[in-house]
């Protein structure tokens, strides 16, 4: 492990200057400070230093996820993370980020400069600069819904296989055979996972997958417009959606096309955001326990900081049955249970 002396030697400067650079002293130039930080990161000095100082500062970096009100997906995740962190006396800084910020400063330098000993990355997509850099980082990092092969990086999420299975099983038990999947954006690991889970569940329930009924949208309500009519043309009697927002768009579009939910078409969401129960009809959905996701993310981060290399932590989903699902139309179908289903 590199020392301050090693860094000074490599840069041909005094150890006191290196020390100033690392500690953010004002009496050296910004260029020198950046050079010291970059060299410290490159020589693997970064993380140990933060650990040795006993800092308990971590951050949540957020890109492309709404989190300011309780209606939004990220809100409770952050609440859960902060709750767990407070119990363990960690400071948490929440930082929105964007592509510019990521282009300006490298992930490891950013963490070192700000004294963070770990980070939770929320809402990043696979092509973000920071995700690319996380492949090589030695900073303890937790990702949400993304998986990266690096022993300093862990992933937290809800088990998509169980979630989709709960949804498909409910519909299959209700006699549905023409089940559609309106998935999220292509450039996302959960989209791929839910796609695979859908094929697996349909096979488990001996149902045929019609490729015309499996489509990618993106994670907003508007994407429904492009797909619902197409699903109806191909005989869908039920639509499984990759998020509650998508499901809200699907219900609106079905109404516009003169279809009743659930009498003509059943709709299932994913997430159980607060809006789910206020939709008309109230939305049957696969619940992600977001407070627990946040708590688990912190717990995982703390273990990574302590040197335990946890790669993956998956929470169980829960199916919340409300009014947007019913038996398959035009057939005698078994009655669907009217309460929560758990695995």
Among 79, 292, 329, 333, binds a copy of itself (CB under 8 A): 292
Instruction: For the CB of residue 343, give the shortest distance to a copy of itself in the complex, in Å.
Output: 4
Instruction: For the CB of residue 154, give the shortest distance to a copy of itself in the complex, in Å.
Output: 9
List C-alpha distances in Å: 251 to 104, 255, 265: 42, 6, 9
Q: Which two tokens stand for residue 322?
A: 């409300």
322 belongs to the binding site for a copy of itself (CB under 8 A): no
The smaller minimum CB distance to a copy of itself, of residues 160 and 269, is found at 160
Distance CA 30, CA 34 (A): 6
204 belongs to the binding site for a copy of itself (CB under 8 A): no
Among 56, 57, 259, 316, binds a copy of itself (CB under 8 A): 316
Q: Give the pairing type, strands 318-320 and 284-287.
A: antiparallel
Return the H-helix or E-strand segment holding 265. none
308 belongs to the binding site for a copy of itself (CB under 8 A): yes
Stretch that binds a copy of itself, among 52-60, 228-236, 274-282, 306-314 (CB under 8 A): 306-314
Stretch that binds a copy of itself, among 37-45, 65-73, 251-259, 292-300 (CB under 8 A): 292-300
Is residue 301 within 8 A of residue 142, CB to CB? The reply is yes
Residue with tokens 């939004």: 72
Is residue 85 within 8 A of residue 298, CB to CB? The reply is yes
Spell out, one character per residue from 58 to 97, where the chain touches a copy of itself: x when CB under 8 A holds, - when not: ----------------------------------------
Among 295, 319, 325, 336, binds a copy of itself (CB under 8 A): 295
Compute how many residues bind a copy of itself; rule: CB under 8 A: 23
Among 162, 244, 253, 272, binds a copy of itself (CB under 8 A): 162
314 belongs to the binding site for a copy of itself (CB under 8 A): yes
Stretch that binds a copy of itself, among 27-35, 214-222, 223-231, 296-304 (CB under 8 A): 296-304
* Interacting residues with a copy of itself between 130 and 149 (CB under 8 A): 149
Candidates 212, 247, 206, 217; CA nearest to 232 is 212
Instruction: For the CB of residue 219, give the shortest distance to a copy of itself in the complex, in Å.
Output: 23
Phi, psi dihedrals of residue 216, rounded to the nearest 5°:
-100, 130
Candidates 271, 283, 324; CA nearest to 65 is 271
Sheet containing strand 118-122, edge to edge, reads 91-96, 57-62, 118-122, 141-144, 153-158
Strand runs labelled E in 31-132: 57-62, 91-96, 118-122
Stretch that binds a copy of itself, among 91-99, 199-207, 274-282, 307-315 (CB under 8 A): 307-315
Among 170, 228, 245, 299, binds a copy of itself (CB under 8 A): 299
311 belongs to the binding site for a copy of itself (CB under 8 A): yes
Count CB atoms within 10 A of the CB of residue 47.
Answer: 21
342 belongs to the binding site for a copy of itself (CB under 8 A): yes
199 belongs to the binding site for a copy of itself (CB under 8 A): no
- Please spell the DSSP secondary structure of 156-171, one letter per residue: EEE-HHHHHHHHHHHH
The strand pairing partners of 323, in sequence order, are: none
- Dihedral sign for Cα atoms in the order 4, 130, 137, 95: positive
Distance CA 175, CA 50 (A): 58
Instruction: For the CB of residue 39, give the shortest distance to a copy of itself in the complex, in Å.
Output: 23
Site residues (vs a copy of itself, CB under 8 A): 149-151, 159, 162, 289, 292, 295-296, 299, 303, 308-316, 318, 342-343
């Amino acid at each position: 492990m590199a020392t301050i002396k090693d860094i000074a030697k490599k840069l041909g400067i005094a150890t006191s200057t290196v020390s100033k650079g690392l500690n953010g002293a004002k009496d050296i130039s910004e260029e020198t400070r950046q050079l010291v930080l970059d060299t410290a990161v490159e020589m693997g000095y970064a993380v140990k230093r933060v650990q040795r100082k006993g800092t308990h500062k971590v951050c949540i970096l957020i890109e492309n996820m709404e989190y300011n009100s309780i209606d939004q997906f990220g809100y409770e995740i952050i609440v859960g993370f902060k709750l767990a962190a407070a119990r363990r006396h960690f400071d948490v800084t929440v930082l929105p980020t964007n592509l510019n910020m990521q282009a300006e400063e490298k992930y490891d330098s950013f963490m070192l400069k700000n004294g963070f000993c770990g980070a939770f990355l929320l809402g990043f997509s696979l092509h973000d600069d920071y995700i690319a850099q996380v492949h090589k980082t030695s900073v303890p990092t937790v990702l949400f819904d993304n998986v990266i092969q690096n022993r300093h990086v862990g992933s937290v999420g809800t088990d998509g296989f169980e979630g989709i299975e709960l949804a498909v099983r409910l519909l299959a038990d209700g006699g549905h055979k023409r089940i559609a999947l309106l998935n999220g954006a292509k450039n996302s690991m959960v989209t791929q996972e839910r796609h695979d889970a859908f094929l697996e569940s349909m096979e488990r329930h001996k149902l045929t997958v019609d490729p015309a009924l499996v489509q990618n949208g993106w994670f907003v309500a508007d994407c429904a417009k492009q797909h619902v009519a197409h699903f109806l043309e191909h005989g869908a009697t039920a639509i499984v959606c990759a998020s509650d927002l998508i499901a809200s768009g699907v219900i609106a579009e079905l109404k516009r096309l003169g279809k009743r939910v659930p009498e003509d078409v059943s709709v299932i969401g994913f997430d159980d955001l607060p809006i789910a129960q206020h939709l008309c009809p109230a939305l049957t959905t696969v619940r992600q326990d977001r407070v627990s996701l946040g708590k688990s993310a912190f717990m995982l981060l703390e273990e990574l900081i302590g040197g335990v290399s946890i790669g993956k932590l998956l929470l169980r989903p829960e199916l919340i049955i409300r009014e947007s699902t019913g038996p398959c139309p035009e057939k005698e179908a078994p009655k669907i249970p009217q309460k929560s289903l758990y695995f």
